[in-house]
Amino acid sequence: STNSTLENEVKPGSKWSTRDLWHCVLLIVFVVLPIRYFVAQPFIVSGASMDPTFADGQYIIVDQLTYKFNNATRGDVIIFRYAGDTSKFFIKRIIGLPGETVKIAGNEIFIKKVGATEFEKLDEQDITKDFSFTAEWTLLPDELFVMGDNRKNSLDSRYFGPIKKDTIIGRAFVRLLPLTTIDYLPGKLNL
């Protein structure tokens, strides 16, 4: 009876049957691919615009579902398609929300929230403020203002303007590589 039990187990080097192959194909088509295209997507950070929060070559998983049910929040790190070339993806931090006015004076950022009459200074304790810029933007209901954490070396909303919400792929959900930097909601700040 022991031999018959062993014959039913998978042994190293045993061949896959056609049935096993079809199960694998169906699993990929109905489980793996929908997750990859609608739930979570991997990206590799390229460039230094988010230093020191994200370094060149880090591997992250992007949550594509949250913003389908919830609004983006200030401080989230998002991945979006660049309007100037939709084949390119950018990673930036949300600074201004729909309907707000964003004012940059020198190296300080001020936000006038929807319905407010006064600007509030954005408290960015963890961001290096080694930049100087002066401008103001009032965001439309479908727009966000984004900036890289490496303010001195970031192509962001200061240069290409606010982004449309429908260009967002998702938010940085998990940093996987290198292993020493594994993190859940990496870079998330409460601004």
Mean pLDDT by 10 residues, the chain (191 residues): 47 60 60 54 78 84 84 91 86 94 92 93 78 90 94 90 93 76 70 69
Q: What are phi and psi of 150, to 5 degrees?
A: -90, 75
> What pLDDT, on a 0 to 100 scale, did the predictor assign at position 177?
66
Active site residues: 49, 92
Sign for the CA dihedral angle at 59, 65, 70, 72 comes to positive
Helix (H) or strand (E) holding 24: helix 18-27
pTM over 0.85: no
93 beta partners: 77, 147
> What pLDDT, on a 0 to 100 scale, did the predictor assign at position 64?
83
- What is the chain's Cα-based Rg? 22
Q: Could you give the 3-state DSSP secondary structure of residue 141?
A: coil
Q: What six digits make up the tokens of 69?
A: 């049910």
Q: Could you give the 3-state DSSP secondary structure of residue 64?
A: coil
> What pLDDT, on a 0 to 100 scale, did the predictor assign at position 4?
45
> What pLDDT, on a 0 to 100 scale, did the predictor assign at position 2?
46
| CB 41 within 8 Å of CB 136 | no
Q: What are the residue ranges of helices labelled H in the chain?
A: 2-8, 18-27, 33-34, 66-69, 157-160
- Within a 10 A sphere around the Cβ of 14, how many other Cβ atoms? 9
| CB 124 within 8 Å of CB 94 | no
